């Protein structure tokens, strides 16, 4: 009797095992028939353009067909979630199109994101309205990306200031701006705005536009602009390089026409007046060789200027004094 029960128990166990085996096979076959052949092989994210507060990213999804040819309406859905709030901030969809067996196709999408936030990016393949494949990525540290201002290659090395004209109320200052191309290619012709801003009131006294011109790699160009400003104030000279309507480089320097002098002992502030006429730069004439100068060179026979006449008078007076003493 006991042996019969063991036999029945053994048969039941075999039936259960067979049932699960058959069921597993049916589920796998169902997945192969109903599931999509498309999968995500890789995802690449690159920065197309970096501005001061946001960045344009190019997200490329490599979609691989792991079975038969596909011409279905499958799409790549790109979602961007704010990592701190979890809120959906961006969503884009791109059609994959026909893709042959074992072929890999690149689908590129462009999005703009704030540099100050961190994100989670979801890339999903939707095939005939059904979720086929999904991949997640984390994106952080966007604020460390250098803006496109560094890509121009143009660097403002230094600025020289020269006084060209003066009058009791104003002075004309020539601003010589040294631009160096530290890039690998010839620079573009950028527009440059130069402003003279009063240091305390921040009022713009004068401003002028000019152009950089094309500059070869490793070469330096000098751009000169004249600004007319009141002569009794101090100024910040601001320089901005423009690419279209975008500022790509800025710099500044100072011109102090009325600087302050601090006396250490009493800690008093004393105004120091500057006569700008002392710094007036006149145009230098081209040097020409004059033969007359060569003819009037040093002549050893010529008398040298000195005190010869004075010495003779003193000697004559001394002789009269000695004669008078002898007569006495």
Residue 129 DSSP one-character state: T
Among 109, 144, 179, residue at a domain's last position: 144
Residue 152 shares a structural domain with residue 259: yes
Among 123, 144, 165, residue at a domain's last position: 144
Residue 22 lies in a domain: no
SS3 (DSSP) at 279: helix
Among 144, 175, 201, residue at a domain's last position: 144
Among 240-244, 254-258, 266-270, 295-299, which stretch is predicted with the lowest mean pLDDT?
A: 295-299
pLDDT tens readout for residues 79-115:
999 999 999 999 999 888 887 888 888 889 999 999 8
Residue 55 lies in a domain: yes
Contacts of 195 (CB under 8 A, 6+ apart): 204, 206, 207, 237, 238
Residue 140 shares a structural domain with residue 179: no
- CATH assignment of the domain containing 79: 2.60.40.10
Residue 166 shares a structural domain with residue 243: yes
Residue 130 shares a structural domain with residue 161: no
Residue 158 shares a structural domain with residue 72: no
Average of per-residue pLDDT across 58-86: 84
Residue 184 lies in a domain: yes
Residue 153 shares a structural domain with residue 104: no
pLDDT tens readout for residues 187-227:
889 999 999 999 888 899 999 999 999 999 889 999 999 99
The pair of structure tokens assigned to 161 is 């200031």
CB count in 10 Å sphere of residue 290:
9
Is 142 in contact with 121 (CB distance < 8 Å)? no
CA distances from 146 to 9, 91, 117, 136 (A): 73, 26, 16, 26
Residue 103 lies in a domain: yes
Looking at residue 69, its pLDDT comes to 65
Residue 89 shares a structural domain with residue 171: no
Q: Which domain does 259 fall in, by range? A: 148-279
Residue 98 lies in a domain: yes
The pair of structure tokens assigned to 256 is 């102090």
Residue 227 shares a structural domain with residue 105: no
Looking at residue 129, its pLDDT comes to 74
Residue 160 shares a structural domain with residue 139: no
Q: What sections of the chain are H helices per DSSP?
A: 2-34, 291-295, 308-327
Q: How many domains does the chain have?
A: 2
Looking at residue 287, its pLDDT comes to 44
CB count in 10 Å sphere of residue 160:
12
Looking at per-residue pLDDT, the higher value among 124 and 294 belongs to 124
């Amino acid at each position: 009797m006991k042996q019969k029960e063991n036999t029945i128990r053994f048969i039941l166990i075999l039936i259960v095992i067979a049932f699960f085996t058959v069921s597993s096979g049916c589920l796998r076959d169902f997945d192969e028939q109903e599931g999509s052949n498309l999968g995500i092989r890789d995802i690449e994210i690159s920065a197309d353009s970096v501005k001061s507060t946001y960045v344009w990213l190019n997200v490329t999804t490599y979609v691989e067909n792991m079975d038969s040819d596909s011409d279905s309406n499958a799409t790549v859905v790109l979602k961007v979630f704010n990592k701190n709030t979890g809120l959906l901030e961006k969503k884009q969809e791109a059609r994959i199109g026909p893709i042959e067996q074992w072929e890999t196709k690149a689908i590129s999408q462009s999005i703009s994101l704030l540099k100050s936030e961190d994100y989670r990016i979801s890339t999903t393949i939707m095939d005939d309205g059904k979720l086929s494949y999904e991949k997640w990525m984390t994106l952080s540290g966007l604020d460390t990306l250098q803006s496109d201002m560094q890509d121009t290659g143009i660097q403002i090395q230094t600025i020289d200031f020269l006084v060209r004209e003066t009058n009791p109320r104003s002075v004309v200052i020539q601003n010589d701006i040294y631009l160096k191309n530290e890039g690998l290619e010839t620079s573009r012709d950028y527009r440059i705005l130069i402003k003279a801003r009063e240091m305390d009131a921040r009022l713009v006294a004068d401003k002028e536009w000019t152009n950089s011109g094309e500059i070869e790699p490793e070469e330096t160009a000098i751009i000169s602009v004249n600004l007319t400003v009141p002569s009794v104030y101090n100024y910040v000279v601001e320089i901005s390089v423009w690419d279209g309507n975008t500022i790509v480089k800025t710099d500044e320097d100072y011109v102090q026409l009325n600087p302050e002098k601090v006396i250490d002992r009493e800690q008093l502030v004393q105004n120091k007046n500057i006569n700008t006429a002392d710094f007036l730069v006149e145009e230098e004439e081209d040097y020409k060789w004059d033969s007359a100068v060569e003819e009037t060179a040093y002549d050893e026979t010529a008398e040298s200027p000195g005190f010869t006449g004075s010495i003779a008078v003193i000697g004559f007076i001394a002789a009269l004094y000695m004669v008078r003493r002898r007569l006495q």
